[in-house]
Structure 1
Amino acid sequence: MATKKTFSDAELEAMQDAKVERKKGKKADGLGDLLAKIAELNPSDKAIAETIHRLVTENAPSLAAKTWYGMPAWANADGKVVCFLTPAGKFDSRYASFGFNDAARLDDGTVWPTAFALTKLTKADEDMLAALIRKAAG
């Protein structure tokens, strides 16, 4: 009788990436690690990741680049991840996603979006995300 796997290979890889990131701790080269991960991506994910990195850098310079579960992420001064990119290729999804964690200052009433599906980015998309990134960083 075959047993069903609890985690996919991609999920297990992400957990191993997180373990490596924790071991590096303060010795991690956040920007270098993030740029290395972006360089490994397929062309579509790479284009999106480069654009998101530019948007975060331009609109929230207080956020530090890092990797989080082996994915591009940006954290506040306390080291808490504010926003992150999940490349489509990471989990064989049909779209990448850009998300915000609870450290993001996006609260707006009792319901607000925390993640967006991305297949490509238009200028209007970039403008909308830039505004959210600025707000999230506070």
Structure 2
Amino acid sequence: MTNTDRPAKSTFEGFTDEERAAMKDHAKELKASARRGSRADKAAEEEAAVVAKIAEMQDSDRVMAERIHAIVKASAPGLAPKLWYGMPAYARDGKVVCFFQSAEKFKARFATLGFSDQAHLDEGTMWPTSYALTQLTAANEEMIATLVKNAAH
């Protein structure tokens, strides 16, 4: 068998279509970020990109993402909205602190609110870094606001 007879080996072998799409989204985000002008322009464009991404989501995910966006902005105004692997995320000094992953994105049965290692949620020797969301109640929103406030400090 010659090289031309062998099927091309994917550099993404082992990743799902959704994971490959997320990686492509992230590459686009990095390129777009490098092209942006002033810091204020960049912040406005990144927030607009987050709002546009949320608007593209299916109804149940979109409703939750809109509420989480509002909660994060109110609870931690120092966090900057940005896209991260095609997901709405919120960063401090350019590093993602928390993000919303729609159920649709990875064909999961629930959406997720996740926190990176940049989040200040440390409590003892073990603590949660992501939360499954099926709906947002007033109690959920209050908990999210508290988590985001703590994570952002």
TM-score, normalised with respect to structure 1: 0.94
**Between Structure 1 and Structure 2, how many residues are aligned?**
136
> Hey, which bits of structure 1, 4+ residues long, moved more than 2 A?
none
**Shift, 1:62, TM fit:** 0.2
Q: Deviations over 1:36-56 (max 9, x none)?
A: 100100000000100100110
Q: Deviations over 1:11-44 (max 9, x none)?
A: 1110000000111125152101100100100000
The answer to whether 1:12 aligns with 2:20 is yes
Larger radius of gyration: 2
Match of 2:50 among 30, 34, 52: 34
1:41-120 pair list within 5 angstroms: 41-76=57-92, 78-120=93-135
- Aligned residue for 2:78, secondary structure, equals coil
Structure 1, unpaired ranges of 5+: none
Structure 2, unpaired ranges of 5+: 1-8, 37-41
- Cα RMSD (Å) of the superposition? 1.7
TM-score, normalised with respect to structure 2: 0.85
Q: Deviations over 1:56-77 (max 9, x none)?
A: 000000000000000000000x
2:118 partner letter: A
Q: Give me the identity figure in percent.
A: 50
**Shift, 1:95, TM fit:** 0.1
Q: Deviations over 1:99-137 (max 9, x none)?
A: 000111111111111100001000000001110100000
